[in-house]
Amino acid sequence: MFANCGRTVVDVTVVQERVVAALSLLAMTWLAERLEPDGEAEIFPNEMVWHSLTPMLESFAAESLWQLIDSEQVRGCRGPAVIGHIIASNTPLLPITSVVRALLVGGSSIVKLPSQTSNGWFTLFCAYLNRVDPEIARAVRSERWPRSDAAKNSWFYESVNLVIAYGDDQSLVEIKRAALAPVVAYGHRISAAVITSDADESNAYDGLASDILMYDQGGCLSPHTVFVEGNLDRARHAAVQLSAALKKSSLPLVNNTSERMAKVREYRSLISMDASALIIDQQTTQYTVVLHESEHLHVSPAHCIVYVVPGSKEGIIEEITNAKLLIQGIALASENIHSRDEWKRCFLSAGIEHVCRFGILQQPTIHWRENNQDVLSCLIL
């Protein structure tokens, strides 16, 4: 990568310095100009994407990037020459974060974009990168082709020295089987929320509503179950409050297509057969709040179908610990600082590192250790 940086043998630290400078300028320029792709071509409303994009770009500040590089002890460490990226379609910013990671360890990128989306935000990122440093931009190549294209798949796997792959578990099994190089895999995960007995509920539900509505609950940081410390009556109160917050949320909603509505209604029919479950409001299919008597983690089919369940502190922690391999993050509402710290310690002990307040669960920065893996050092072979 960067053969024309001015040296015959390129020092990796020099490359990192140039990449950090370019990304920092890119972020500053994009945040100032706030250019957006054509909204009609995008699955998710632009304002929704900015909710995640803004903190991500802010984390591209030079000081922040050097902190990441040094915290993982990869300053001057060369990553694979060519890194391949297989991107899922559930959230629009995955290719940006994946490519940034490759650039920070001096790697070029070949990106297999999802064929069913427009990828407008990644296109904008590449355009900004070309503006601030055309040579760095030339190190990023992206294409789209169907999974069934055997010839293209073979070319991809033969061209890369490492694969970063996002997708469901079955897709990742197939990718690992086909890959000729090591694979850093990010499979299916969900998130959850916890409302403790001492939580200040006055403003909590508005933030939780945003966490749920983001990307139509399709990302790994989308909460599927809200655990309420207390009895069923308290959980019922929380479910009603959450339903009201979802109804009045100012976050733009995804297009409620006939296909989406049909899936929601089909799942609601299944829920109605469960004597332990109660749907709070069926006036709209944009979201569904389900009060459930059990203390278990429930996994929904996305489309903003969220469960609210009661439980004791011990029971909630045990349930989350048992499901730690599935849970990506926890949104926590707890007013008392000592109580909040104790809950966080319990989650960390269970192996769940991404714990935050309501409203920012879906705002990870470049420092976020997805699936509890190091951001950069896992790319150094």
Q: Is residue 237 in some structural domain?
A: yes
Same domain, 217 and 180: no
Same domain, 204 and 162: no
Same domain, 171 and 229: no
Same domain, 223 and 282: yes
Same domain, 290 and 212: yes
pLDDT exceeds cutoff 50 at 79: yes
The residue from 156, 188, 220 where one domain ends is 188
pLDDT for 5 equals 39
Q: Is residue 75 in some structural domain?
A: yes
pLDDT in tens, 270-299: 999 999 999 999 999 999 999 999 999 999
Q: How would you write the chain as a 3-class SS string?
A: CCCCCCCCCCCHHHHHHHHHHHHHHHHHHHHHHCCCCCHHHCCCCHHHHHHHHHHHHHCCCHHHHHHHHHHCCCCCCCCCCEEEEECCCCCCCHHHHHHHHHHHCCCEEEEECCCCCCCHHHHHHHHHHHHHCHHHHCCEEEECCCCCCHHHHHHHHHHCCEEEEECCHHHHHHHHHHCCCCEEEECCCEEEEEECCCCCCCCHHHHHHHHHHHHHHCCCCCEEEEEEEECHHHHHHHHHHHHHHHHHCCCCCCCCCHHHHHHHHHHHHHHHCCCCEEECCCCCCCCEEEEECCCCCCCCCCCCEEEEEEECHHHHHHHHHHCCCCEEEEEEECCCHHHHHHHHHHHHHCCCCEEECCCCCCCCCCCCCHHHCCCCHHHCC
pLDDT for 40 equals 57
Mean pLDDT, rounded, for 253-268? 95
pLDDT exceeds cutoff 60 at 14: yes
Same domain, 117 and 25: yes
pLDDT for 302 equals 94
Same domain, 18 and 157: yes
pLDDT for 118 equals 81
CATH of the domain at 59: 3.40.605.10
Average pLDDT score, the chain: 93
Q: Is residue 1 in some structural domain?
A: no
pLDDT for 9 equals 40
- State the pLDDT confidence band at 2, using cuts at 50, 70 and 90: low
Q: Is residue 327 in some structural domain?
A: yes
Percent of the chain whose pLDDT exceeds 70: 97
The residue from 136, 159, 188 where one domain ends is 188
pLDDT for 43 equals 83
Q: Is residue 199 in some structural domain?
A: yes
pLDDT exceeds cutoff 80 at 1: no
Same domain, 203 and 347: yes
Same domain, 233 and 349: yes
pLDDT exceeds cutoff 80 at 327: yes
- State the pLDDT confidence band at 3, using cuts at 50, 70 and 90: very low
Same domain, 50 and 164: yes
Q: Is residue 91 in some structural domain?
A: yes
State if pTM tops 0.75. yes
Range of the domain at 348: 190-356
Same domain, 54 and 176: yes
Q: Is residue 373 in some structural domain?
A: no
pLDDT for 61 equals 98
CATH of the domain at 332: 3.40.309.10
Same domain, 269 and 124: no
Count of domains observed in the chain: 2
pLDDT for 12 equals 86
Mean pLDDT, rounded, for 82-107? 96
pLDDT in tens, 184-233: 999 999 999 999 999 988 788 999 999 999 999 999 999 999 999 999 99
pLDDT in tens, 99-155: 999 999 999 999 999 987 789 999 999 999 999 999 999 999 999 999 899 999 999
pLDDT for 41 equals 60
pLDDT in tens, 40-73: 567 899 999 999 999 999 999 999 999 999 999 9
Q: Is residue 7 in some structural domain?
A: no
